[in-house]
Chain A
Amino acid sequence: MSDKQIGREIGQALGANLTRRSLFALGGAAAVTGALAACGGNTGREPAASGGATGGGSGTTLNQWYHQYGEAGTQQAVEKYAAAYKDATVKVSWKPGDYDQSTAASLLTDAGPDVFEYGNGPTIDMIKGGQVVDLTDLIGATKSDFNPSILERMTYEGKTYAIPQVVDMQLLVYRKSMLDKAGVTPPQTIDELIAAAKKLTQGNVKGLFLGNDGGAGLMGGPMLWSAGLDYLTKDNQFGFDDPRAATALGKLREMWDAKVLLLGAPKDWFDPSALTAGLTAMQFTGLWTFPDLKKGLGDDFGVMAWPALDGQGKASVPVGAYGSCVSAKSKDVEAAKKFAKWLWIDQTAYQLDFATAYGFHIPSRTSLIGQASTLTSGQAADAAKLATDVGHAQSPILWTPKCNTAFGDAMNRIVKEGADPAGEIAKVKTVADAELKRVLA
């Protein structure tokens, strides 16, 4: 009996005239279903998923997700906080890898978290899609205690969708000894900065490090703010269709052409090694590098904001924060909100511990900054003051990922290829206008 005949026999037995090919198709479908089931098996809701830790308490079980923090001890700390919560069992999931993408995708399913952190709060698409719940009433009277620009970034149409956990910031760090030697004082305007960078560029030491792409990826926002502009205006229109923006962005190209920028460092701007190894005199980097800077340079470094373009502009430092959000798909939204309030509003001792005991961050509550012993003296105290005084949220909530890509491409062309800034800004505007129309519809 041939395969085909066997197929037909089985087919007749099943009450359908199956051929061998359709049997194969069925088998394939079964295999695919099996594979999908296997994928869906690890939902993170099952007991003892990797990195899971069960808190005390009874009744409700809540899943809380964090991305993987690099600093030792952070995971144990958040597990300790979760275990101390008495009104529900809180299971912490510590998620390595591409946290933002996997979390965004999981919110569409039943396998997502109840409480989760997200960089600068949920995205506009999560809010518009009803995937996260309004937390305005949790924050209530403590509103004035939070860093205002961060809180605004997590707010849409008057409703706040996340509680800021800790604040991170970027700023300009310089080697005091190198500036003294070259007779340069910390620059107050962009032109002074360029002049200083030229003086500081000597031999194999470059004046300024803005990332291996010459600041194309990192400095777009700070450059707009230095001209007194922003990504979007207050009434959510495209914010930098302005000749001053073209001038400001063109300044980055001026630095590139003057060959004062460090390019191609083994580790990029987020690592302090270019400064500590003496490859550059000034570097735009993050607060998190301070423990290493201290170790490598002792007291030989100072901090400052990104300077203003001129008298009309403003100095700034970008600030960002992971915000704690509550999923609308949670089985018990009220319990999840209660836990988020307990940890990120009520337990100030835990918030302080989380911000200062492991890595180097600023507590998101202004009232806690004074209590953070790591931030009371020296450069760290200066940095914390900058964040409060001239802190600027990295990008507005309506500045979607698509706008960001278009802006990044334009910045690359302006800085690396010397394209005309005004023409590139016009291209970004086309994309941004369409995106704004989409999200505001």
Chain B
Amino acid sequence: MKQTTNKMPMWLRYVINIIVFFVLFGGSTGLVNSSIISTYYTRIIVLCGINMILALSLNIATGYLGQLPLGHAGFMALGAYASAIFMRSVTVSPSAIFPLGILIGGVTAAFVGFLIGIPALRLKGDYLAIITLGFGEIIRVVLLNIDSVLGFKFTYGAASLKNIPKTTNFFNTFLCVAITCFVIHTIMKSRHGRATLAIRDNEIAAEACGINTTYYKTFGFTLSAFFAGVAGALYAGYIGVLSPSAFGFMKSIEILVMVVLGGMGSMIGSIISATALTALPEMLRAFSQYRMIAYSLLLVIVMIFKPTGLMGNYDFSLSSLIGKIGGKSKPKSKTKTKPEKDGETNE
């Protein structure tokens, strides 16, 4: 079967994806606004969205770059604090300025990620895991112990940063998830993405192909930190109170579990498992005392029966799905993971 001739033209894929995006966006906005989805569920959905961004961002470093950083919560904390401090300092309407706050969170985390990445990425495997774990802890401990800088009250240390404008809502979370998916997808489907994947598959060969591995590792790590910062900024606006203890080692592990469970290198996998692992503890409330057992058991079962994660390295493609339904073409794993499908999981 000729794949190339039957393939849907690129522009059509884009049109379909954009339409689906607006339909989902409009539809879900309507549902939230008309309170068909209750505030309780909306809050869970928003938390799912934040965790999706976290999982997607760690997936860059783990799934695509093949490294194992264990300090992801540290970048999230940086994004959260940077954004929160900015949001507290502005006097204009917080919701209008929030996109800038998110950006500041992302950029701060990316900058620190870049600085940490340069020395850390010289190491591999277990060593990298430990050094990033160390950096993550440093960030947390610094936030815990420095409550004022030059007399200005900044982070409030262990007393926690309060009165952050609660600007995170369904819409900006949805948009952030969509943008995250879009940016990661477009980068991974380019020469830069290929270089990144080449490093994961075989670093020596990648280098022998003329790829500057240091550059791409640092780039991947920085990008990963950026989106973690974005997620942190959203988290700050969601929870309203920041305490360093929320960004401990366990948070990093939690994010890693989402990525591994979903399948390393699969965006749809990260999205599904982030949703499942966020929603599950809530759904299991009925079995209160057993819920942590059920949660852990689920992880064990998935890892035994599907060690590559729920999705392996399969990626969802809307256009190939439509092609399949229409019987037009047999899609290979030609992916087209566009922002839209996070909306589907959001519902």
Do A and B associate with each other? no
